Amino acid sequence: MRPSEIIKEIDKLDLPEKLKLVEDIWDSIAKSNSILPMQDWQKIELEKRYKDYKCGQLKLHDWNEVHEGLRKKYK
């Protein structure tokens, strides 16, 4: 089945069915234990951020504060 045909079939589903499908797809990905490919620029950025973190050069934010800020912003 072509991707365009799959999308047409997905469009026929109601919201709970679509959510269940997404859950099943994620479960399938997790079961495969595949390592997602990472671009070189992503590796470089992660290494930089980790180095900055280890050296104490990153300003860390409490999750509760971040969550509350997002709630206020998108309320």
Q: How many CB atoms lie within 10 A of CB 62?
A: 8
- Please report, for residues 37, 62, 67, the alpha-carbon distance to residue 75 in angstroms, rounded to integers and kept in the order given: 35, 20, 12
pLDDT at residue 1 greater than cutoff 90? no
Looking at per-residue pLDDT, the higher value among 36 and 12 belongs to: 12
pTM, whole model, 2 decimals? 0.46
pLDDT at residue 31 greater than cutoff 90? no
Burial of 69 (0-12, 13-18, 19+ CB in 10 A): exposed
pLDDT at residue 30 greater than cutoff 90? no
41-74 per-position pLDDT tens digit = 999 999 999 999 999 998 889 999 999 999 999 9
CA geometry: angle 72, 50, 58, nearest 5 deg: 50
